[in-house]
Homo-oligomer: A and B are copies of this chain.
Amino acid sequence: MSLRYLTAKLAQQIDEELMNAAGAFSIDQLMELAGLACAQTLAKVYSREKYPRVLVCCGPGNQGGDGLVAARHLGMFGYRPTIWMPKPGSKDIYKRLKKQCDNMHIQTIAPGTDVQPLRDELAHSDVILDAIFGFSFQPPVRAPFDAALPLLTESGLPIVSVDIPSGWDVEKGNAAGFGLNPDVLLSLTAPKEGSRGFKGRHFLGGRFVPKAMEEKFQLNLPEYPGFDQIVELPPAEGSQKL
């Protein structure tokens, strides 16, 4: 039984069922575990000794929240993260997560649509955590993210993307061609259809899907090792070693 790749609709349904009365998870819990998995994935591939300066790029939605949690944990792990969150969400949870990062003395680039500060920061970063768009992404890419995606690519820095590389269609992948080309991908709960052709190192996170839900959706998840929050998936056919 092979690992199931999710459509956008199915990913949405699983997300909803985790948080409805039956699933009983709060968004605080799931975001905490998702963000921790992001931080662990980055730390697994890029050591804090060689890649201390992490630019955490956060979108306006829930994935931006995962990014804020990841930034905090990366700070705890000894990295020096900087947050770029040009359009901070207005929900209370984003404000609290941001405050927690402030308390860790994590720098944040001032919000706004001018990408020059992002360009400047890229020159002083070692690795990028891409928490811009998640499984609910619908094109077109709006400002300032339309200008930011090429900047991230042109930087030549290694990129760790969360759930689906930003700019990719959740089901069709980077068919349109304007998406990022990350080195590492962390899929959450289960990989998305669009990531089938992904050639880099591919991890799975979301060690919170109850057995009953895994069976209901026939996810056929792999076994996680020890007490990690992530598991590396076998390389895709034709993929290259990082």
Q: List residues of A whose CB falls within 8 A of some B CB.
A: 22-26, 28-29, 32-33, 39-40, 43-44, 72-73, 76-78, 95-97, 99-100, 103-105, 207-208, 210-213, 223-224, 226-227
Q: How far is the CA of A190 from the CA of B88 in the complex (A)?
A: 33
The oligomer's copy count stands at: 2
Interface pair B210/A100, CB less than 8 Å apart: yes
Beyond A23-B103, A43-B226, A43-B227, whether A76 also contacts B28 by CB under 8 A is: no
In the assembled complex, 24 residue pairs joining A and B whose CB atoms fall closer than 8 Å, in A order, are A24-B96, A24-B97, A24-B100, A24-B103, A25-B100, A28-B29, A28-B32, A29-B29, A29-B32, A32-B32, A32-B33, A39-B227, A44-B227, A72-B208, A73-B227, A76-B207, A77-B226, A103-B210, A103-B211, A103-B212, A103-B213, A104-B210, A104-B211, A105-B212
Q: How far is the CA of A43 from the CA of B225 in the complex (A)?
A: 12
Q: How far is the CA of A177 from the CA of B28 in the complex (A)?
A: 40
Given contacts A24-B100, A76-B208, 17 further A-B contacts (CB under 8 A): A22-B99, A23-B100, A23-B103, A24-B97, A26-B96, A28-B32, A29-B29, A32-B32, A39-B227, A40-B227, A43-B226, A73-B227, A76-B207, A76-B224, A77-B226, A103-B212, A104-B211
Q: How far is the CA of A42 from the CA of B208 in the complex (A)?
A: 18
Provide the residues of chain B in CB contact with A226, threshold 8 Å.
Answer: 43, 77
Provide the residues of chain B in CB contact with A103, threshold 8 Å.
Answer: 22-24, 210-213
Provide the residues of chain B in CB contact with A39, threshold 8 Å.
Answer: 227
Closest to A224 in B: B76
Q: Which of A25, A44, A105 has the most CB of B within 10 A?
A: A25
Closest to A43 in B: B227
Provide the residues of chain B in CB contact with A224, threshold 8 Å.
Answer: 76
Minimum CB–CB distance for A241 against chain B, Å: 23
Q: How far is the CA of A28 from the CA of B26 in the complex (A)?
A: 8
Q: How far is the CA of A22 from the CA of B99 in the complex (A)?
A: 8
